[in-house]
Structure 1
């Protein structure tokens, strides 16, 4: 009888630990990539990043976040009338953004500020 109770108690404890692990994974962030990016989803990502830049328009590649969870954006350097960089170089800061999966949500992170925004109607998969 006592052996049966210990076995039952052990099974219950294992179940509690396992369910606790499952709940924890829904709160963790995992780098992610987009499954299939539509133009509407790309525009949504551009809008979020544009808002972080104070409304400055940004243009992203058509396959943004499909091959990598990280995107780096550099501001344009000053150019002359022929489109060449003035002085041939610039020291503009690069900005990076990471796509994360948290449970069923896809979150876009501004790596410079740490701010994260949930993206609607976007399917992403964890890469790690």
Structure 2
């Protein structure tokens, strides 16, 4: 009876470890883009705009190529002479991170943790710097 109980405990313990290990492997991790092109650039801009609740955003052509995180600032309003209309901006910029979970690439708004799955973008785990 004692052997059966120990055996049952061992099976439960091992299956618990396997579940924990698989959960670790499927958690999203920092990633960089592997296929930068016009389609992926457009998808990234649209996804970021959606995450921020903006009508549109502008990002560089090499966004997310070297680093998993980008900082997005609101466009400052300027007059005809190029001077800021409302003075200096004290608004905190938004951080957006590219993540890889399994085969999927995700964009996450760091402050709100809202996440969008990307369909055109391919990514790889970010190299440790």
TM over 0.5, shorter chain: yes
Q: Is the 8 A contact 2:28 2:99 kept in 1?
A: yes
Return the offset for 1:17. Answer: 8.6
Q: Deviations over 1:21-59 (max 9, x none)?
A: 763344211100001211111111111111223342111
In structure 2, the CA distance between the partners of 1:123 and 1:94, relative to structure 1 (3 Å rule), is: same
Contact 2:43 2:120 in 1 (8 A): no
Q: TM-score normalized by structure 2?
A: 0.76
Structure 2 residue runs of 5 or longer lacking an equivalent are 1-13
CA apart distance, 1:90? 1.4
The equivalent residue for 1:72 is: 71
What's the RMSD between the two structures over aligned residues? Answer: 2.6
2:62 corresponding residue in structure 1: 63
* Larger displacement relative to structure 2 (110-119 or 88-97): 88-97
Q: Which residue of 1 aligns with 2:30?
A: 31
Aligned residue pairs total: 117
Change (3 A) 1:35 1:21: farther
Contact preservation (8 Å) 2:51, 2:115: no
Asked if residue 45 in structure 1 is aligned to residue 44 in structure 2, the reply is yes
Note the residue ranges of structure 1 that are not aligned, 5 or more in a row.
Answer: 1-14
- Change beyond 3 A, Cα 1:90–1:55: closer
- Mapped partners of 2:18, 2:122: distance in 1: 25
Distance in 1, matches of 2:85 and 2:77, equals: 6
Residues 90 and 102 from structure 1, CA distance in 2 versus in 1: closer, same or farther, beyond 3 angstroms?
same
Query: C-alpha separation between the residues in 2 aligned to 1:19 and 1:57?
Result: 44
Which 10-residue stretch deviates more, 76-85 or 32-41?
76-85
Instruction: Please say which of residues 81-90 and 108-117 is displaced more in the overlay.
Output: 81-90
